[in-house]
Amino acid sequence: MFAEGQHQFKSYIQQFFLTIFHYPEAWDFIKKHQIWRGLRGYGWVVRFMIFIAIVFGLHMFSSVAEWFSQINNNEDPVTFGAGVSSFFNKVAVENFKWAFDGGAKYLVLILLEVVVFHFTRKTLEIKTGVVRNSTFNSFLHAEWRMIKVVIFCFIFEKLVQVPVAIVAGVVPLYGYTKMFLNFLASCFFLGFAILDNYNEIFKLKIRESFKATLPMFGIAMAVGMITFLLMYLPLIGAIAGTILGAVVSTIILEEHEELIPEIMTIRAQQEGGIAVKEETGS
């Protein structure tokens, strides 16, 4: 059992770095195929999303501007040093907590679902040559699905914090250990929420999608972690994080479809149905 667990852990580590190394490829893929084309078709939704993303970015920008204003009014080196310390404590740490405490990160995903929806489907179309349903009605269905996924992730993330507190309580540096383990849990659930957009295309239910994601723990962790780090950047971070997360997830799952046997079965059934229709039509 220990050997099996060790092998599984090694597999997760490989998945994690595989995903990280795919991010430059995803960026090149986006530029090459200009996947952003077609976003205007969602009309006011995209404009509203950009507005909200800017508001989230200004949350951090306002803190930075306030800090610079205070520093400029103090020429004393000691005061300046205290100001630098204040910056990391107030701006960096507080914004870190703001991004992951409560449901802030999930609210970002709900608001940017139109981006994840569009980029996931366009990437899949380019990789497979199969046109996917990208109508406004299908987007509304995906948006409602994202809301339910967010509720699912929020509840389970809170439940995970209970055993995390117990484990952290029996090891040194309780506070830091607890924060680190909660951070990893947050990254995983954030990554799952993005990966679910791929699974949703193939009609997996949320619980089926979550079960299918567990063997891809390393991928979900990497996507969630990078998305968080990019969310931490002001103004464009939230949009960049969700776009790259959606494209990376789709590319990896297409190149390694054996990771989700459920979808392989669904695809075989779909291809069989297409073949039958073609024979009937001929």
Residue 185's contacts (CB-CB under 8 Å, 6 or more residues apart) are 157, 160, 161, 164
Instruction: Give the tokens for residue 97.
Output: 């907590």
**Looking at residues 45-50, what average pLDDT do you find?**
74
Q: In terms of pLDDT, which residue wins out, 110 or 83?
A: 110
139-190 pLDDT, tens per residue? 889 999 999 999 999 999 989 988 888 877 777 766 778 888 888 999 999 9
Does 194 reside within a domain? yes
Residue 90 and residue 62 in contact, taking contact as beta carbons nearer than 8 Å: no
Does 281 reside within a domain? no
Q: String of b and e for 198-224 (b: at least 16 CB within 10 Å)?
A: bbbbbebebeebbebbeebbbbbbbbb
Best CA proximity match to 251, nearest among 60, 5, 1, 27: 27
Does 169 reside within a domain? yes
203-245 pLDDT, tens per residue? 889 998 998 899 899 999 999 999 988 877 766 788 889 999 9
Q: String of b and e for 234-250 (b: at least 16 CB within 10 Å)?
A: beebbbbbbbbbbbbbb
Does 249 reside within a domain? yes
**What distance in Å separates the CA atoms of residue 242 and residue 108, rounded to the nearest whole number?**
9
Q: Domain range holding 14?
A: 2-272
**What distance in Å separates the CA atoms of residue 166 and residue 115, rounded to the nearest whole number?**
38
Which residue has 């389970």 as its token pair?
A: 156
pTM value is 0.79
123 alpha carbon, distance to own chain's centre: 16
Cα angle 207-228-249, degrees, rounded to a multiple of 5: 50
Does 90 reside within a domain? yes
Give the alpha-carbon dihedral of 43, 44, 45, 51, to 10 degrees.
Answer: 130
Query: Quick check: 104 pLDDT over 70?
Result: yes
Count of structural domains, the chain: 1
Write the CA distances from 229 to 30, 107, 131, 223, 267, integer angstroms. Answer: 20, 16, 32, 10, 34
For 256, phi then psi, to 5°, come to -130, 60
**What distance in Å separates the CA atoms of residue 103 and residue 208, rounded to the nearest whole number?**
23
Does 279 reside within a domain? no
Instruction: Give the tokens for residue 16.
Output: 């994690």
Query: Quick check: 272 pLDDT over 80?
Result: no
pLDDT of residue 262: 64
For residue 87, what is the DSSP state? I
Does 277 reside within a domain? no
Q: String of b and e for 76-91 (b: at least 16 CB within 10 Å)?
A: eeeeeeebeeebeeeb
Does 278 reside within a domain? no
